[in-house]
Amino acid sequence: MEKTLVIIKPDAVGKKAVGNIITAFDDFGLKLAALKMIKPSRNVIEQFYSIHKEKPFFQPLVEFMDCAPIVVCVWESENAVSKVRNFIGATDSQKADKGTIRNLFGTNNRKNAVHASDSLENAEKEISFFFKPEEILNYNYDAWISK
């Protein structure tokens, strides 16, 4: 089973879409392994998106992500990274396929409701950026809920 990180961005939090987004991921067959709402500092956001530091959209992205709380989630399934990437849709919400998370809850290229890890390697880095190992459900989920 793979794990991947999803961030529900400030625009979706402000639209009160968090519950609907979590339900959509759950209904899509993913298992929630960790969840928390946080308001990271600007410095933390800059560190998280540091790979984009030299790109022109970096500062506007940091400012946007700094404007309100976010919800960080770890989702688990077979092929979680690719499954989630397909489910959320194109980065630009206006170009995202109908029924994808970004199409349903996003507005544009930046206010696109969610961030999701783009590779297994990045998923591992991003998950450890926000979560300690003990905060992530790491046992047989199905056996646990059947008790």
The residues that are catalytic are 115
> Which of 61, 72, 102, 70 lies closest to 4 in space, CA to CA?
72
Could you write out the three-class secondary structure of 74-136?
EEEECCHHHHHHHHHCCCCCCCCCCCCHHHHHCCCCCCCCEEECCCHHHHHHHHHHHCCHHHC
Burial 85-98 (b: 16+ CB within 10 A, else e): eebbbeeebeebee
